[in-house]
Amino acid sequence: PTPQEWKQQDNSPRWRRPRGVLQRNAGIAWLRHNCPPYTAAVAYFADDDNSYAIELFDQMRWTQKVSVWPVGLVGGVMLERPVCLCLGDGHPSIVTDWMVGWKASRKFPTDMAGFAVSVALLITKTDAEFSHDSKIGYLETDFLSKLVETKDLEPRANCCTKVLVWHMNAKKPLLKEEMKLRELGRRTDVGIVV
């Protein structure tokens, strides 16, 4: 169970504390204890308030290190996504930037629903786990930084132009960061298929 000091207080916003840290780390520990180092599988930290296109799971199964893709209705924008250079003709695509509404300066400004990790990589990188000490909004960045560099990311979802996972809350999404970006002449959903 989560210790009381790490639980959300009744009157505090959900984003004030990292959530699911112990549970995710327990899952990672289970994989390390039960899977051989050469296991060809992926770990994905799914959430019960997300909606998934079945295609997402077919795409992530090819992950060699860390695969990434857009996530819809998150972070106050229509979608958060990696911006990719798509080389085509059998050449791998590369992540060159990120389109997000908050703290684009983070090394990996992605949502938990926006990546999958090779189980073999998790087994070999024994220091990679989630931390209660991560600053607000840095849980994913701190975790991924222990696994890969940006050059190692594997863009999926048609070079990150298709949305295959969405945050689905029972209330209308607040898109205040999207409105700020639009005032600057930028939109997160340009060239995206939903």
Which residues belong to the active site?
140
Question: CA 189 to CA 194: how far, in whole Å?
Answer: 9
| 66, 154 contact by CB (below 8 A) | yes
- Let me know if 127 is exposed, middle or buried by CB neighbors in 10 A (0-12, 13-18, 19+): exposed
Q: Is 133 annotated as a binding residue?
A: no
CA angle 95, 48, 109 (to 5 degrees): 25
Residue whose C-alpha is closest to residue 82's, from 127, 42, 114, 50 = 114
**Which residues belong to the annotated binding site for Mn(2+)?**
49
Q: Binding site residues, as ranges?
A: 49
